[in-house]
């Protein structure tokens, strides 16, 4: 995000003409409030329904009489800088009030959670990351930006780039997984895709990288829980994706709910001012997460709302999402001198700069033609990209005896409620999909010409239907069981203490296996599941996540072999939940897990992942050989020979890892440093080359300083973090 000299002057001029109230208004974000028909605040109404004081039906009746307040009066008076609405005509109306009826005519920045697509819903991020395809990451973000703009949204609360290593945490679904290198590449590509298409004022939005920071490290995987870690861990694992996003020019950042080492990110001056704005150079602004400023009172870091607001703004929190605390208390705080005017000016300058960079002053409205275009349906190229993203995101975990792919002559018994539910394909944080765009697995298989019969039998919730199970087993040559999680079982506030298949789905699989028929399992879920039993007993497992609107097409193509699976895991899968957090790039211990008793292991579970990061099979096979490493001036030149040894074309993700064998701090057993994705015809062989800058071989110490330390390094290349060729090299950094 770069402003020209004229744009900067425009911002300064505007700032100089604003009253304090107008400035604070820019720092206030509103969502539509639900009003009328009830005597308690809306939040309490929700709580009443959640804790059972009123039934869902009663809640529904009350809501039917409610209306939405879009804060038009406050917008007119210059007391609102941002709104969170996704209705394009409503957004035009609100913009018109801001632009034509407020004193200074400053347009609203309109934010929304467009996490993995708007109406064109792509795979959830943990799934899309399995494609290891930076071009795809960027393309899907570019399409999301255009669709957002066409709906009046100019600010996406994405990408979510929290490194996450504990799959109990429901929000693992929203981000690119456990690895800082993949996470950083994902972050960069998403920022480019959202922000860099400047071909028109309707083709880009401001990115909002979130959640800053270490939210993924919440203790016990319980959402909103405390986090604590060393500075070096923060810098090496949790900050890199944010640093990458800042280098790519990300316009804004959302602070995380959690505290880090005792200070909530919302009021954490070191994180916001020193690291984010200072060291990493954020040019735009920081917004709080929803209601997070108020929560600082509950955190016990602020006595009351006033105190929380003062701490937040002084710490560098530029915009308040949803609490009105800035609106209610900052004027008085500035007048009393507890908040310097310079702090307010800095925040407003940042917010206005993003608005100017977005072109909102020239182009505040969505053209009616764009709105109408989407009302006619999704363009074909959007559907095609959704399908491509879904195809690349599936991971073949297991395929014993080459059970997959199936052929069109086999009679398929398709089992599982999730298989026929097009409302479940999009997963968590998809807010604008339309049922008519969504393809269930059943519809996908039927459309692909498979000989398929469907038996619901059971799902993540509820009972098993024995009679349907018996018929499914009886009538098919092969059973395809679709099991997993509903979309509500991952995402925010959806932590699970037991990450096995929920409900009676394991029992369902047992019964299917008892029939003696081959059982192919398709997983549809939002987190790495604990699959010890499944991995042991089921012959073929395809991880399909929540793949977005074209899920059914993609899964059908993979099952029938029209598409050869190519995804590699972006997160390690545990055997049992008790292994969480589990990740391939853990620091070396003095007693690495082994069969001996006094090593880092469990008595009752394996010590390592069931399916490690980077794992993913194909219908063909790849052979790696001749790993060569040499040292050039500033880089390591790495070459490996790759051959497609199978009988069909396939795509492989070649992964390059390193290990710093001895350093002044304990380093990970392996760290991903680069990867590439390429397709090879049957029998084709190729030399793959990486040039790894020596400057990337360092790490951050506990002062947050980057260190390059001479010594022995191991270089690994292979098709997963576990299955690699290895070389050693002594390196001296000049």
The residues assigned a catalytic role are: 289
> In terms of DSSP bridges, do strands 33-35 and 67-69 run parallel, antiparallel, or are they unpaired?
antiparallel
Site for ligand BGC in 92-151 (CB under 6 A): 113
Q: What does the DSSP 8-state code read for residue 275?
A: I
Q: Are 500 and 506 in contact (CB under 8 A)?
A: yes
Q: Are 319 and 287 in contact (CB under 8 A)?
A: yes
Q: Which is nearer to ligand BGC, 291 or 338 (CB)?
A: 291
Q: Which is nearer to ligand BGC, 288 or 721 (CB)?
A: 288
Q: Which is nearer to ligand BGC, 137 or 157 (CB)?
A: 157
Structure tokens at 160: 């979510």
Chain position carrying tokens 């600082």: 296
Each residue 486-505 as x (binds ligand BGC by CB under 6 A) or -, in order, gives ------x-------------
Rounded to 5 degrees, φ, ψ at 242 are -70, -40
Among 157, 326, 455, 624, binds ligand BGC (CB under 6 A): 157
> In terms of DSSP bridges, do strands 395-399 and 540-543 run parallel, antiparallel, or are they unpaired?
antiparallel
Q: Which is nearer to ligand BGC, 215 or 690 (CB)?
A: 215
Q: Which is nearer to ligand BGC, 112 or 619 (CB)?
A: 112
Among 106, 108, 280, 290, binds ligand BGC (CB under 6 A): 290
Q: Where are the beta strands (DSSP E) in 121-261?
A: 155-156, 206-212, 252-255, 259-260
Q: Which is nearer to ligand BGC, 120 or 156 (CB)?
A: 156
Each residue 191-230 as x (binds ligand BGC by CB under 6 A) or -, in order, gives -------------------x--------------------
Distance CA 562, CA 44 (A): 51
Residue of closest CB approach to ligand BGC: 157
Each residue 434-473 as x (binds ligand BGC by CB under 6 A) or -, in order, gives ----------------------------------------
The minimum distance between CB 113 and ligand BGC, in angstroms, equals: 5
Q: Does 289 bind ligand BGC (CB under 6 A)?
A: yes
Rounded to 5 degrees, φ, ψ at 664 are -75, -15
CB contact set of 272 (below 8 Å; sequence gap of 6+): 255, 265, 286, 315, 316, 317
Q: What does the DSSP 8-state code read for residue 44?
A: H
DSSP codes of every residue in 211-272: EETTGGG-GGG-TT--B---HHHIIIIISHHHHHHHHTT--EEEE-SSEETTEEGGG-HIII
Q: Which is nearer to ligand BGC, 74 or 174 (CB)?
A: 174
The minimum distance between CB 494 and ligand BGC, in angstroms, equals: 12
Structure tokens at 308: 């929380």
Rounded to 5 degrees, φ, ψ at 409 are -85, -20
Q: Which is nearer to ligand BGC, 152 or 646 (CB)?
A: 152
3-state secondary structure of 532: helix
Site for ligand BGC in 365-384 (CB under 6 A): none
Q: Where are the beta strands (DSSP E) in 32-172?
A: 33-35, 67-69, 82-83, 109-112, 155-156
The minimum distance between CB 32 and ligand BGC, in angstroms, equals: 12
Distance CA 318, CA 119 (A): 30
Q: Which is nearer to ligand BGC, 305 or 492 (CB)?
A: 492
Site for ligand BGC in 243-282 (CB under 6 A): none
3-state secondary structure 655-670: EEEEEECCCCCCCECC
Q: Does 329 bind ligand BGC (CB under 6 A)?
A: no
Size of the site for ligand BGC (CB under 6 A): 6
Structure tokens at 55: 């039934």
Q: What is the dihedral of CA 110, 116, 120, 121, to 10 degrees?
A: -130
> In terms of DSSP bridges, do strands 706-707 and 259-260 run parallel, antiparallel, or are they unpaired?
unpaired
Distance CA 612, CA 604 (A): 19
* Chain residues that interact with ligand BGC, rule: CB under 6 A: 113, 157, 210, 289-290, 492
């Amino acid at each position: 995000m770069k402003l020209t000299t004229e744009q900067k002057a425009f911002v300064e001029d505007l700032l100089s003409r604003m009253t304090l109230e107008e400035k604070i208004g820019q720092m206030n974000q509103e969502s539509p409030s639900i009003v009328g028909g009830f005597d308690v605040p809306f939040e309490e109404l929700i709580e009443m329904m959640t804790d059972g004081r009123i039934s869902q039906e009663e809640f529904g009746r009350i809501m039917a009489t409610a209306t939405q307040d879009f804060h038009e009066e406050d917008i007119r008076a210059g007391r609102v800088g941002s709104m969170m609405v996704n209705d394009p005509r409503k957004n035009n109306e609100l913009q018109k009030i801001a632009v034509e009826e407020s004193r200074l005519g400053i347009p609203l920045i309109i934010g929304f959670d467009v996490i993995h697509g708007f109406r064109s819903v792509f795979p959830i991020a943990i799934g899309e990351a399995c494609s290891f395809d930076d071009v795809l990451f960027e393309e899907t973000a570019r399409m999301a930006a255009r669709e957002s703009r066409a709906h009046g949204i100019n600010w996406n609360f994405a990408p979510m780039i929290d490194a996450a290593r504990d799959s109990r945490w429901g929000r693992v679904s929203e981000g690119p997984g456990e690895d800082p290198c993949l996470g950083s590449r994902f972050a960069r590509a998403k920022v480019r895709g959202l922000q860099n298409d400047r071909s028109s004022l309707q083709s880009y939005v401001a990115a909002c990288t979130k959640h800053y920071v270490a939210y993924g490290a919440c203790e016990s995987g319980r959402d909103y829980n405390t986090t604590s870690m060393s500075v070096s861990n923060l810098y090496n694992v949790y900050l890199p994706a944010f640093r990458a996003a800042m280098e790519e020019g990300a316009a804004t950042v959302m602070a995380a709910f959690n505290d880090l080492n005792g200070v909530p990110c919302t009021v954490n001056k070191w994180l916001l001012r020193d690291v984010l704005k200072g060291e990493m150079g954020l040019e735009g602004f920081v917004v709080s997460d929803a209601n997070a400023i108020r929560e600082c009172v509950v955190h016990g870091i602020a006595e009351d709302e006033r105190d929380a607001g003062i701490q937040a703004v002084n710490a560098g929190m530029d915009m308040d999402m949803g609490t009105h605390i800035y609106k209610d208390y900052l004027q008085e705080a500035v007048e009393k001198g507890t908040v310097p005017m310079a702090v307010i000016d800095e925040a407003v300058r940042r917010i206005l700069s993003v608005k100017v960079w977005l072109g909102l002053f020239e182009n505040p409205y969505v053209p009616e033609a764009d709105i109408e275009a989407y009302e006619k349906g999704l363009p074909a190229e959007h559907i095609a990209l959704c399908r491509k993203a879904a195809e690349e995101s599936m991971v073949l975990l297991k395929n014993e005896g080459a059970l997959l792919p199936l052929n069109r002559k086999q009679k398929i018994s398709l089992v599982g409620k999730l298989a026929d539910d097009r409302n479940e394909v999009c997963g968590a944080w998809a807010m604008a999909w339309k049922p008519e765009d969504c393809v269930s697995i059943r519809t996908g298989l039927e459309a692909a010409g498979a000989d398929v019969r469907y038996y619901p039998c059971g799902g993540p919730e509820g009972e098993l239907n024995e009679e349907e199970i018996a018929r499914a087993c009886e009538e098919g040559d092969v059973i395809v069981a679709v099991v997993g999680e509903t979309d509500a079982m991952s995402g925010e506030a959806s932590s699970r203490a037991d990450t096995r298949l929920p409900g009676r789905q394991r029992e369902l699989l047992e019964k299917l296996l008892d029939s003696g028929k081959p059982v192919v399992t398709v997983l549809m879920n939002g987190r790495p599941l604990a699959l010890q039993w499944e991995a042991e007993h089921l012959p073929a497992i395809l991880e399909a996540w929540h793949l977005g609107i074209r899920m059914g097409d993609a899964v059908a193509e993979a099952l029938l072999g029209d598409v050869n699976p190519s995804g590699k895991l972006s997160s390690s899968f545990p055997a049992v939940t008790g292994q969480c957090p589990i990740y391939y790039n853990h620091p070396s211990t003095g007693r690495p897990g082994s069969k001996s008793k006094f090593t880092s292991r469990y008595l009752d579970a394996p010590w390592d992942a069931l399916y490690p990061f980077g794992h993913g099979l194909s219908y063909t096979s790849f052979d790696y050989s001749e790993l060569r490493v040499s040292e050039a001036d500033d880089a390591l030149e790495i070459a490996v020979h790759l051959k497609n040894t199978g009988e069909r074309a396939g795509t492989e993700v070649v992964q390059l890892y390193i290990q710093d064998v001895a350093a002044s701090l304990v380093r990970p057993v392996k760290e991903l440093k680069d990867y590439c994705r390429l397709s090879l015809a049957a029998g084709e062989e190729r030399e793959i080359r990486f040039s790894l800058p020596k400057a990337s071989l360092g790490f951050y110490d506990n002062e947050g300083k980057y260190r390059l330390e001479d010594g022995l390094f191991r270089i690994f290349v292979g098709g997963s973090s576990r299955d690699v060729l290895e070389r050693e090299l002594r390196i001296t950094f000049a």
